Amino acid sequence: MTTTAAQPPGPAVLQLSRSVAQLTADLVDIESVSGDEARIADAVEAAVRRYGSLSVRRLGNVVVVRTELGRPERVVLAGHLDTVPIADNLPSRLAGGRLHGCGTSDMKSGVALQLRVLDLIGTAALEPAVDLTWLFYDCEEVESARNGLNRVAAEHPELLRADLAILLEPTNGTVEGGCQGTMRARLSIAGRRAHSARSWLGSNAIHSAAPLLQRLADYRAREVEVEGLSYREGLNAVFIEGGVAGNVVPDRCLVTVNYRFAPDRSEAEAEQHLRSVFSGFELTVLDSAPAARPGLDRPLVRRAVQALGGEVAAKLGWTDVARFSALGIPALNFSPGDPNLAHRADESVELAQLERCERLLVGFLEHSSGAGTN
């Protein structure tokens, strides 16, 4: 919703008292492709430091904010600041009751919700029934090793400690439990280099990738039920590369695949499955992150589901709920973004849904105490 396409030269400024829609647009208009989050992290830090009642820590491009109200329970609101690469879809644009642009759905609308709650509590307009921790972090859209929340979980696990974490990842305004695991692996196909004018002396590694790609094209993904929620898997090539020069038969072709697996499989079982699918090909696991079970057996989780709309479905994308699960903290996904629009050039978020989610979240935090109701 800016009027110029170019980024302003100075530091970005955020006013957290604006409407959640306007705040989302302001966040979207600060480009923050993974690895390039310094500017948006600076803007968030500067904005939250204006509230004297909150403690603020900056760790790289992660910003952690906490209340210390002495409440018996603590809830984390967590969201990542980065986006996938821009696809000619900035600056943001308002049309048909929706805000369009890179990150509108995944997940700057969620970050805007975090910041709206922070503004209300920081100005004492909202008296929460729980203590709150806000985690704003970098590099969620790239390999697990660079993930800012991962780093904080490893180096300062006390900052994540809570009774419930709510991740503002896109869920279309419903609660989604657990998450699928994700594993990236590289398949390497070897050939023999030769001049392309005498190609019969070589062996073309790109041609030899045909049966591998055919296996991917033919692959039928599982649909698995876990704790009553249905998880649909997926196996995709996400990169392919090969070639030496325009007149050389290439001696190597590399295919990177991404496997999304249901919470009934461990990372070891996921790897075993990939090795079976790609038997005969050289496979190296690049990175992986475990799936998380829904964890709907805790009272605070059930109260959250109730307050946030009453329904819960399986989370199909991998999210950082798995990092909280690994620390024994139940975690839900909830935000207005449409996961089906995430990472697409036509990404957008519905403003009515965004405002509804703000109301539900504020309502949950005002009345989330379990005292006398459980």
d(CA 280, CA 190): 12
Q: Does 180 bind its own copies (CB under 8 A)?
A: yes
Minimum distance of its own copies from residue 315's CB (angstroms): 9
Q: Name the token pair of 361.
A: 């979240």
> Minimum distance between the CB of residue 163 and its own copies, rounded to whole angstroms?
27
Segment 352 to 371, residues that bind its own copies, using CB under 8 A: none
138 among known catalytic residues: no
Can residue 232 be called a binding residue for its own copies (CB under 8 A)?
yes
Q: Would you put residue 196 in left (φ > 0), alpha (ψ -120 to 50) or beta?
A: alpha
Q: Catalytic: which of 29, 37, 82, 320?
A: 82
- Measured from the Cβ of residue 13, the count of other Cβ atoms closer than 10 Å reads 11
Q: Which is nearer to its own copies, 117 or 321 (CB)?
A: 321
Between 190 and 213, name the residue whose CB sits nearer to its own copies.
213
345 contributes a contact to its own copies by CB under 8 A: yes
Tell the smallest beta-carbon distance from residue 145 to its own copies (Å).
12
Tokens of 357: 């989610």
How far the first Cα of the chain sits from its last, in Å, is 45
Nearer to its own copies by C-beta: 249 or 308? 249
Number of residues near its own copies (by CB under 8 A):
63
Q: Is 250 in the site for its own copies (CB under 8 A)?
A: yes
Look up residue 350 and give its DSSP letter.
E
195 is a contact residue toward its own copies (CB under 8 A): yes
**If we measure between CA atoms, which residue out of 184, 218, 177 comes closest to residue 316?**
177
Alpha-carbon separation of residue 263 from 153, 225, 270, 314 (angstroms): 21, 9, 10, 10
Q: How far is the CB of 48 from its own copies (least distance, A)?
A: 28
Return the range that interacts with its own copies (CB under 8 A); candidates 107-115, 245-253, 290-298, 363-371: 245-253
How far, in whole angstroms, is CA 1 from its chain's centroid? Answer: 23
Q: Is there binding between residue 188 and its own copies (CB under 8 A)?
A: no
Q: Which residues contact 328 (CB under 8 A, 6 or more apart)?
A: none
Does the protein bind its own copies through residue 374 (CB under 8 A)?
no
Are the beta carbons of 306 and 168 closer than 8 angstroms? no
- 116 membership: H or E segment, kind and range: helix 109-122
Question: If you search the block for the tokens 């209300």, which residue do you land on?
Answer: 120
- Is 140 noted as a catalytic residue in this protein? yes
- Cα–Cα distances (Å) from 185 to 140, 148, 149, 235, 271, in that order, read 18, 22, 23, 11, 9
- Contact flags string 300-329 toward its own copies, x per CB under 8 A: ----------------xxx-----------
Catalytic residue among 37, 106, 131, 140: 140
Residue 137 carries which side chain, given as an amino acid letter? Answer: Y
The catalytic residue positions are 82, 140
Q: Which residues bind its own copies (CB under 8 A)?
A: 84-85, 87, 106, 141-143, 180, 182, 184, 193-201, 204, 206-211, 213-214, 216-217, 221, 232, 234-250, 253, 255-256, 258, 260, 316-318, 339-340, 342-345
